Structure 1
Amino acid sequence: MDNIVVEALIRALSVGTPLLLACLGAIINERGGVVNLGVEGMMAVGALAAFAVASSSPDANLWLAVGASMLAGAALAALHAVATVTLRANQFVSGLALALIGTGAAGLLGKKFEGLPLFNKVNDWNLGGFIINPFTVAALLLAVVMAFYLNSTRSGLTLRSVGENPAAADVLGVNVGAVRIWAVLAGGSLSGLAGAFLALSYRASWADNMTGGLGWIAVALVIFVGWRPLRAVLGALFFGFLYYLQFRLQGNSPVPTEVFNAMPFVLVLVVLALAGLRGQQGDAPAGLGRPYVRGER
């Protein structure tokens, strides 16, 4: 029984890793007052960039592949930053466009990588009999560091103030636009890192639509966890456990496979509805989704 519980926990942590990384990126975005619905697209281009570098030769450096994924995610996020922060476009429309651009571009450019071997992959670590993935360790550490950064550092307070009341932050000499652009780029790089986990470790291959809607779940997870990094760990673990159940029960149950495939997305709707009923949306930054124009109220 204990082995089953430990196995379920490890699997849930592993499956929940890309959700946690992408959720942390979205938290940084939204703490700065910018909504980015393009997480799915940034994960897709991050996965493609990582696989393209890692599959280029048997001696390819996996660190370069990880760096490429983060740069690709940040590059796509830069389009969103220009559109929403500089040009003050609607953040929701821009984010949706980003998701479509990212997934479409990754699918098109990734055609030539389908079926190619991955010479090296990021293997799990054996820490005293406890098997864990390096991406999972990095995600957990990032959650702790981000919580400390947002709550206990001057720059974290600046980021939060820009998301809560950009006009007040501007009066105090904060460059609101620069802070928001930095937040969007940081969020994009973490989404790209989530894609690298899929390409270099979890699936260790490239296939069109390999993100499978995880980016959309990560966006919803931000609301569910109340924009708090440490809560995001529990939220990712919860949804990771759902995916683990999905894999374990498929083929061992009379329930159709489609029901298990839809389970995580149905639960997203349920938890968001529960969050709305108990007023958790009140935890959102006050300036979230609103473009800032100096002198306007």
Structure 2
Amino acid sequence: MGLEFLRFGAPVAFAALGESIGQRAGVLNIGLEGFMLMGAYVAFRVTGATGNPYLGLLAGVVAGVVLALIQGFLTIHNTADQVVVGTAVNLLALGLTNTLFRAQFGKSGELVRVPSLPTLFGPFDAGLILLGILVIALSLWLARSKWGLANRAVGEYPPAVQSAGLSVTRIRWQAALLAGAFAGLAGAYLVVGVAHTFAENMVAGRGFVAIAMVTFGRWRPWGVVLASLFVGYIDSLQYQWQGRSALPVELFQALPYLGALLVLVFVGRGAAAPAALGVPYRRER
């Protein structure tokens, strides 16, 4: 299969990369699965209508940002519970995409193909090249820029950031919107870079795997992406092994999730999450 595993791992890598930024600022997005699903559906419809997979990617990003605006209004502005809201987003996205998909395509939608991203250099398409650029840029930005340092500080002790004259709310909004854009991009790439079609619940747990990869990667861009690509490699193996064994197909389909669980148990132990992760911030007056 060569480097094809990069394509399988890229959707999880995009989502996990964005989620790591959000979590560094104390924003936990349990709704990552729903974000990816909405990004995938919107990318499928836009790519199918225009024949342009690049517009599909952009549309997926927009879908992720719109969802982030809604979720951020509830969790950042109104300090609602992030886990409850994220769970609701997952259910909303699943129900909405299934309803719209069936209304338009019935049961035959899985046969509708959309144009895929063309390869630019060997097996690398624009999505994979973008992933490489983003992980380098974000690593430098988070480590060396004022915003990157503030983003990390907000996730540890928000009152200190507020005392320094910076807005905790603004920084969390910025991180949440950026994470939403990455999640929408992840879903869009799943359509135009991997599957070239849409199916109900096609994200199939990748959003939750991405959340696990953030912990596995210690909230560092390089670590998060490498962990995600490792899961992508395991995912690619299942397609090779399915035709060579008499074991149930479901066993091979579970391999990526079993792999994510095992590395999280054995490698993720002792990983210290940001102290203010998931904690609503209410400014003291």
What is the TM-score with the length of structure 1 in the denominator?
Answer: 0.90
Alignment partner, residue 159 of structure 2 = 167
Gaps spanning 5+ residues in structure 1: where?
1-6
1:275, CA displacement in angstroms?
Answer: 3.7
Residues 53 and 79 of structure 1: CA distance in aligned 2, closer, same or farther (over 3 Å): same
Alignment partner, residue 277 of structure 2 = 288
1:233, CA displacement in angstroms?
Answer: 2.3
Within a 5 Å distance, the mapping from 1:52-201 to structure 2 comes to 52-57=45-50, 60-111=51-102, 112-113=104-105, 114-115=109-110, 117-118=112-113, 120-125=115-120, 127=121, 130-201=122-193
235-244 or 102-111: bigger deviation: 102-111
Q: What does the per-residue CA deviation read over 1:202-238, in whole Å, with 9 as the maximum and x for residues that have no partner? A: 1111211111211111111111111010012211221
1:140, CA displacement in angstroms?
Answer: 1.7
Cα separation, 1, equivalents of 2:112 and 2:89: 29
Residue 268 in structure 1 maps to residue 270 in structure 2: no
1:121, CA displacement in angstroms?
Answer: 2.4
1:285, CA displacement in angstroms?
Answer: 1.4
SS at match of 1:207: coil
Note if contact 1:13-1:236 (Cα within 8 Å) is conserved in structure 2: no
1:193, CA displacement in angstroms?
Answer: 0.5
Residues 257 and 119 of structure 1: CA distance in aligned 2, closer, same or farther (over 3 Å): closer
CA RMSD in angstroms, aligned pairs only: 1.7
Residues 294 and 75 of structure 1: CA distance in aligned 2, closer, same or farther (over 3 Å): same
SS at match of 1:55: helix
Cα separation, 1, equivalents of 2:268 and 2:123: 37
Alignment partner, residue 228 of structure 2 = 236
1:103, CA displacement in angstroms?
Answer: 2.0
Note if contact 1:34-1:184 (Cα within 8 Å) is conserved in structure 2: yes
Cα separation, 2, equivalents of 1:256 and 1:65: 35
Q: State the percentage of identical aligned residues.
A: 36
Note if contact 1:14-1:133 (Cα within 8 Å) is conserved in structure 2: no
Cα separation, 2, equivalents of 1:95 and 1:119: 30
196-205 or 16-25: bigger deviation: 196-205
Alignment partner, residue 257 of structure 1 = 249
What is the TM-score with the length of structure 2 in the denominator?
Answer: 0.93
* Paired residue type of 2:160: A
Note if contact 2:216-2:268 (Cα within 8 Å) is conserved in structure 1: no
